[in-house]
Amino acid sequence: MYNDRVRSAARDALAAGSSVSDVARSLGVARSTIREWRDRPNSPSRQIDKQCPRCSPHRSWSLCSYAALLGFYLGDGCLSTHVGKVVLRVSWDESHPGIVDDVSELIATLAPHRTVFHVPAPGTTVVQAGWKHWLCLFPQHGPGRKHERTIALEPWQQEIVDAHPADFLRGLFHSDGCRTRNWATKVVAGEKKRYDYPRWEFSNRSDDIHALCGAALDKLQIPWRRSGRFHLSVSRREAVAALDAAIGPKA
């Protein structure tokens, strides 16, 4: 039910002298679970769920949906773990109802036995669904914010992203990206002319997530560049057109 990374973080913290309460609080895991891990270190760390493609590797599942939801999770999503419950939450401002529908469908495809909730918050809609096995699907979950820790894909995730880079990029750019219109002036025949051109910009504070985004763009041979400490942009005309075709509009 908890991934091995959370369990070993708990074990390390206990070995370093932290109390059960402190470890429970910092990892968002119930104290009784931490106590059980301390007292029964060899007990199984995860209950099998036949709906979970990681627990039941022969189950067929939609890899392109997973690649997209992974992008959304790394962009604007989070897992919260509290008293044995695990909830996936992804939130947007209300001006993007198409994305809310997209993520709801992705969750429904990957976890058809779970209920997807839309929780209104001021100016925002949160799409959420509870399932302990989100921890199997998103092993990047851990204490602290994403940009404050290493975000590395596991080999099975990398394989899926390599096979479905456009879906992965849709998740990343539709959560942490925006398509803007820029302008520039050029002197033509002695006259200053203004040109408008679109570009995509991806903004995230994690260098690791930037690297994943850049690698997926490379897979599609879409030129990009880092345009700031937290930004990556796709601005050449053909590159913008290729990204438009790959990920669709941010609706």
Q: Which residues of the shown chain bind Zn ion in the complex (CB under 5 A)?
A: 52, 54-55, 133, 136
Residue type, 233: S
Comparing CB distances to Zn ion, the nearer of 129 and 136 is 136
Residue 234 tokens, joined: 């796709």
Residue 172 Cβ vs Zn ion, minimum distance, rounded to whole Å:
24
Handedness of CA 134, 140, 142, 144 (dihedral sign): negative
Q: What contacts 21, CB < 8 A, 6 or more positions away? A: 31
Residue 133 Cβ vs Zn ion, minimum distance, rounded to whole Å:
4
- DSSP-assigned letter for residue 34: H
Residue 59 Cβ vs Zn ion, minimum distance, rounded to whole Å:
10
Looking from the CA of 227 toward its CB, the CA atoms found within 13 Å total 12
Residue type, 240: V
Residue 110 Cβ vs Zn ion, minimum distance, rounded to whole Å:
12
Alpha-carbon Rg for the chain in angstroms? 21
Residue 91 tokens, joined: 């939130």
Comparing CB distances to Zn ion, the nearer of 133 and 164 is 133
Comparing CB distances to Zn ion, the nearer of 55 and 116 is 55
Residue 227 tokens, joined: 């345009």
Residue 30 Cβ vs Zn ion, minimum distance, rounded to whole Å:
18
Residue 132 Cβ vs Zn ion, minimum distance, rounded to whole Å:
8
Q: Report how far residue 5's alpha carbon sits from residue 26's, in angstroms, rounded to the nearest whole number.
A: 14
Residue 110 tokens, joined: 């990957």
C-alpha to C-alpha distances, 215 to 7, 88, 170, nearest whole angstrom: 30, 25, 14
Comparing CB distances to Zn ion, the nearer of 135 and 169 is 135
Comparing CB distances to Zn ion, the nearer of 37 and 224 is 37
Comparing CB distances to Zn ion, the nearer of 52 and 217 is 52
